[in-house]
Structure formats: C-alpha cells, structure tokens
Amino acid sequence: MHPAQDARVILRHADRYDPKLIQGVIGEGLDELGLAPFGRTLVKPNLVIAGPRFDPAWTRVEFAEGVLAALRERASGRVRELAVGERCAITIPTRFVYEESGYSEMLERLEVKRYCFDEVTQVEVPYTHARRLRDYVFVPEPVASADFFVNIPKFKSHPWTTVTFSMKNYIGLQDDRHRMVDHDQALSRKVADLQHVIQPQFIAIDAIVAGEGSTMLAPTPRQLNLIVMGNNQVAVDSVCSRILGLDPRAIDHIRFAHEDGFGPVELDRIALSGDVSLAEARERAHGFRVGLVRVDKFFEGTRVSAYAGPAPGQSADQTCSGGCPGALEEAMEVLRRFDAQAELHMPRLHFVFGDYRGPIEAAYGEKVIFVGDCATFEGTVGDQLVKLESLYRERRAVEPRHAVHQDIFKKMLTTLGEIRAAKHRPYLRLEGCPVSVADLMLILAELGKLPNPYLTSNLALPFAKHYASWRAGTLQRRLTGHAYQHAGTPAPRGAAAPVLPAS
Ligand code: SF4
C-alpha cells in the first residue's frame, strides 16, 4: 500500500449531542480504520475552559461519553486502563473544570479513570529532532506511558494559531509551569515539537457545534453537524483547514509538523471517506470566522486601545502571535461572558506590546499598561516622558526544569499591589513572557472596574475548594518526591515516531 493511503480521514454527519448516536459513529470510524484500544488507553479532550457559560469552547461531555463507550465496546479484555486526561487553562484547577462540565459525573458512571494532568508526575522526555526549540520537554506520566492515545479536540478558531483542531490540543498536555515556556512568538513551533512526544492512534473531532470567531475561550457557536475522524493528525488538521477554505501550509504548526514528517497536507495523499463530502462540509462552514487577528484591530471601536510592535526576532510589521497580545484578547472575551456590557462601563485603557515606536493616544488620567518582558517604549505618556527598556531573556536562558508555579491568589495580591504602586503614574508595566490570560483578566477587571471571574459569587466557593485540594496534592507529591521523573526516562510509547515521510 502506498504510504499516503495510510493517512485516512472520515467525515461523518452527526446533528446532536446524543451519546448513543456518537458512540455509533465513532465505533464505525474505529472499525473502518481497523483500530481497537489496548494497554493503557488515554483519551484527551479539549476542556481548556468548560461548562455551559463557555459553550462551544470545549469537547462536549456527551461527545466524550460516546467515544469512551465505543472504545470500551472494542476493548475485548486488552485494555489495562481506560482513562481521560486533561490540563485546562492555567490557574484553573482541572478538577474544577471536570465538575463544571459534567465530566466527573460521566466518568464515574462509566467507571473511567480521571487524570488531572496538573496533579500527576511530570516526566522529562528528550527531544532529538532537528528543528526543536529545546532538548527536552515535560509531559504528564499518563501521556508518556500511554499505549493507545486518543485525541478528541473541539473544532474551533484560535487567536494565536488561527485554528484549533487536533495538534493544537496538545498544549493541554502540559501543566502551568511548562505550558508557559515558549508560549510566545514560537508557539507554533512548540506545538509542532510536542508532536514528537506521542502521536494518537485515533483522532475524533467534535465539530457538531464548532466555535468560530477570534477567541478560543469564548467562541461563537456554529452548527456544522460533523464528526471528523482519522488516524493521522496532520492529515486530519489539513482536511479541517480545507473545510474552512484555508491552505494547511499557511498554518505554521500544521506546516511544521508536516515538514517534520508527521503526515501529508496534500489531499491526493489522504484517503477521504464518510457520508459527508469535503464539498458539503465546506458549504456547511461557509464564511466561518477564524482567529489570528492583530490585537490593535481586535480592539478597534472599544474602550481598550492596543498598540503593538514586533517581539524579538520579528520584522517591524509582525506582532507576537503566541503570547501577550492574544492573551489580552482572550481575557477580554472571558470578561464579556461575565458582563456582556463590560466595555460600556470601563474607563478607557491603553495596552502596549513589543517594540512599539508610535504615539500612545492616552488622555489625562487614562492608564497605559505595557505588557510583557519585551515591551520597549520611548516617548510621552500623559504628561510624562517614559523610557522603557526590554526585560526579555533569550530562549536558552529559560530553563523548564526551574519553572515555578504561580499561585492565582498571590497573583491577585501582586496585581493589586502593582496598580497601587502605579497610582500616581500614568502607566504600569506587567512583566512575564508571556503575561498570562489570568494576569490580564485581573488587570482588566481591576482597572476596568469589572467583575473578577475568580470571585464571582456562584463560582468562588467551588473554585477555592478545588484550588485548595489541587495545591495540597501538589505539595504532597513534592514532599514525597513524586513530582518529577527526570532525564533517562524510557522513550514514550504510543505511535511516537513520525509516521510518514514529508513530501
Ligand atoms: S513578552 Fe509577551 S509579547 Fe514579548 S515575546 Fe514574550 S510573549 Fe511575546
């Protein structure tokens, strides 16, 4: 058989979140691909943020239930462990998101094991491929040890990487400390590097109700009535890109993974099947809005003004696509979910990114926030002359082994302290590379006088309860020496090697 025929993608119609219907479609997909689970079988959904307020940002619980039931039907005693694992958005305990989304109840009912990737041993896995950012990476033990890995992401747009299909879902493998490393202008390369840890044997994308727009945490629902399945991530993501009328080679992480040998982007090298043709899928997705909107454009016409210059290593017309600017967009979208009129109430704010050389049009009393270590500026802010030097550290100076967790409650206090310290100044600076969505949400909430989502009345108590259990568990693992497995760990199992030569 020609290797191209090994990369298979199936497009199936599914018009509702009925676990039985989904189980049937997924089961037929597994059979068509000749796949059955074995050993430690691990299913990775996208629960970056979840619960009804954030539909359709996440892989719906009914979808996961259908996938798990189909896998179990085909287990035939060869599955040692059937588990679901995820690390949701940073600072939020994954156990909290499992509760909010209904996953906890479903997993208990199905007797499926639950892994919070932020609460397990982190394994150091070496990288040896040519274009890597680093020589090693940390991933959770269940990922490093998976025999049969199933990726079940959401079909949605993304502010940093244009789209989220299967490969981008790998960012949810890493805990907070390690996720933030290289989550900057090199994000697409980071996503491609993570492909070298493990490849899934089976991919099933929840595109029944997809998420469109320029945000991944609070996208707009778009009914596509599709389940996309396959056995090769590059092929699956390439077909999904083409459903949206995009050239997969124009999406950096897909192109990088293709060039690293993980699969084909060309349609004539992918075996397509199913009861929905590519043409029909395209028709369903006609006009679908994707991400990667420049931050200054994103906030046009609002009470937030954004000014963006290039990050280190970028040309003058570029902005950091994987870090602070997109984080501000996401932070604003989350706040809009808690107060749809957010921008009507807030005072005017100005955010500056990168090496910005233009004017800042802040009137007297309006705050200017310089975001990120690479922010540099020389000019007038209000009535003050400001000269800001870059604090950016070269990538090789950042050591993942020394990455530390940042406590959200400490962050809140620090944010308040920074705002107070800048009370008599027209500007303040947020350090970090990147500055996280959480940090920017806290700043926007505080300076914009908007509700702080972490303290919203019906969420605050369960959040604090799960947060305390999470941190206590982490502390215990550290004290008992189970937080890390360092270099020398055997190579991970699963379909870990590139499966097809790049064309
Ligand atoms: S500080 Fe922010 S904008 Fe600058 S390189 Fe880092 S992530 Fe990008």
Q: Is the confidence at residue 4, as pLDDT, over 50?
A: no
Give percent helix, percent strand, percent coil of the chain, each to the nearest 5: 40, 20, 40
SS3 state of residue 384: strand
* Whole-number Å distance between alpha carbons of 487 and 471: 25
Q: pLDDT at position 486, please? A: 61
125 φ, ψ (degrees, to nearest 5)? -115, 130
- Which of 55-69, 76-90, 415-429 is predicted least confidently? 415-429
In tens, the pLDDT along 233-267 reads 999 999 999 999 999 999 999 999 999 999 999 99
For tokens 């700043």, the residue is: 443
Q: Angle formed by the axes of helices 94-101 and 103-110, to 10°? A: 80
Residue 281 region by backbone torsions, left for phi larger than 0, else alpha for psi between -120 and 50, else beta: alpha
Residue of 294, 373, 391 to mutate, ligand 1, most atoms within 8 A of C-beta: 373
* Whole-number Å distance between alpha carbons of 283 and 271: 20
Pocket lining: 311 vs ligand 1, CB cutoff 6 Å: yes
Residue of 183, 435, 439, 440 to mutate, ligand 1, most atoms within 8 A of C-beta: 435
Average pLDDT of the segment spanning 475-479: 74
Q: Is the confidence at residue 144, as pLDDT, over 50?
A: yes
* Whole-number Å distance between alpha carbons of 307 and 353: 6
CA of 323 to the centre of ligand 1 (A): 5
* Whole-number Å distance between alpha carbons of 252 and 321: 11
Quote the pTM value. 0.90
Q: pLDDT at position 54, please? A: 84
CA of 434 to the centre of ligand 1 (A): 5
Q: pLDDT at position 396, please? A: 86
- Closest ligand 1 atom to residue 392 Cα is 1
Q: pLDDT at position 41, please? A: 98
Residue of 371, 374, 392, 429 to mutate, ligand 1, most atoms within 8 A of C-beta: 374
- Closest ligand 1 atom to residue 435 Cα is 2
Identity of the residue numbered 18: D
224 φ, ψ (degrees, to nearest 5)? -110, -20
- Structural domains of the chain, ranges and CATH numbers in brackets: 3-284 (3.40.50.11440), 295-455 (no CATH)
- Which of 307-311, 366-370, 464-468 is predicted least confidently? 464-468
Q: pLDDT at position 457, please? A: 60
* Whole-number Å distance between alpha carbons of 327 and 262: 29
CB 132 within 8 A of CB 260: no
Q: pLDDT at position 491, please? A: 46
Residue of 318, 324, 352 to mutate, ligand 1, most atoms within 8 A of C-beta: 324
CA of 184 to the centre of ligand 1 (A): 5
Instruction: State both tokens at 393.
Output: 């550290």
The vertex-101 CA angle with 94 and 103, nearest 5°, equals 80
What DSSP assignment string belongs to 218-243? SPEEEEEEEEEEES-HHHHHHHHHHH
Instruction: State both tokens at 206.
Output: 């929840």
Pocket lining: 56 vs ligand 1, CB cutoff 6 Å: no
Q: Which residues contact 9 (CB under 8 A, 6 or more apart)?
A: 228, 229, 230, 232, 235, 236, 239, 270, 271, 272, 273, 274
CA–CA distances in Å: residue 127 to residues 117, 124, 174, 180, 486: 20, 10, 15, 18, 13
The conformation of residue 51, written as its DSSP 8-state character, comes to S
Give the torsion sign (CA, 153, 244, 131, 311): negative
For tokens 């189909």, the residue is: 70
Give the torsion sign (CA, 237, 183, 330, 97): positive
- Closest ligand 1 atom to residue 353 Cα is 3
Q: pLDDT at position 55, please? A: 84
CA of 104 to the centre of ligand 1 (A): 36
Please list, residue by residue across 422-435, b when 16 or more beta carbons sit within 10 angstroms of its beta carbon and e when fewer do.
beeebbbbbebbbb
Please list, residue by residue across 127-153, b when 16 or more beta carbons sit within 10 angstroms of its beta carbon and e when fewer do.
beeeebebeebbbbbbbbbbbbbbbbb
Please list, residue by residue across 397-407, b when 16 or more beta carbons sit within 10 angstroms of its beta carbon and e when fewer do.
eeebeebeebe
CA of 375 to the centre of ligand 1 (A): 8
Pocket lining: 323 vs ligand 1, CB cutoff 6 Å: yes
| Contacts by 92-95, CB closer than 8 A, 24 or more apart | 92/49, 92/463, 93/118, 93/463, 93/466, 93/467, 93/469, 93/470, 94/47, 94/118, 94/119, 94/470, 95/119, 95/466, 95/469, 95/470
